[in-house]
Structure 1
Amino acid sequence: MILAEVGGSLLPGTGASPLEYDPLYWGAVFPLGMYASSTHEMAAALGFHFLDFIPVSFFYLALAA
């Protein structure tokens, strides 16, 4: 089987790219990343180690989104 890359396509026989950018994804992923980052920094600065699971959870949630 030959896979030809045409217009960024990696799927045989299709013109669709498996990874397409949609600007609406930014509105979902950016707040998750900012919430995770700020919670991580706050937990580290204040010594609230019981919050350490939240940034990790939101990282994987944003990665899945």
Structure 2
Amino acid sequence: MSDDKAIILFKAAKELNIGIATAVDFLGKKGFAVENKPTTKLSKDMYDTLMREFQGDKIVKE
């Protein structure tokens, strides 16, 4: 992910092969405040946290 370009929740969830609600719930448990809307912008920390947790789901999808 590029540092200067935010990624939206829908794109991250699709890339990782998880649902938006799953991503929002997980990030909430990790202490991030995230709206349950597909167009919510994720910070780099949020995106990296999702990648670390759901990398396996991404590999299965590919």
TM over 0.5, shorter chain = no
Which interval holds the TM-score relative to the shorter structure? Answer: under 0.3
TM-score (norm 1): 0.24
Would you tell me which structure has more strand in proportion to its own residues?
A: 2
Q: TM-score, normalised by structure 2?
A: 0.24
Question: Relative contact order (C-alpha < 8 Å, sep 6+): which is higher?
Answer: 2
Of structures 1 and 2, the larger Rg is shown by: 1
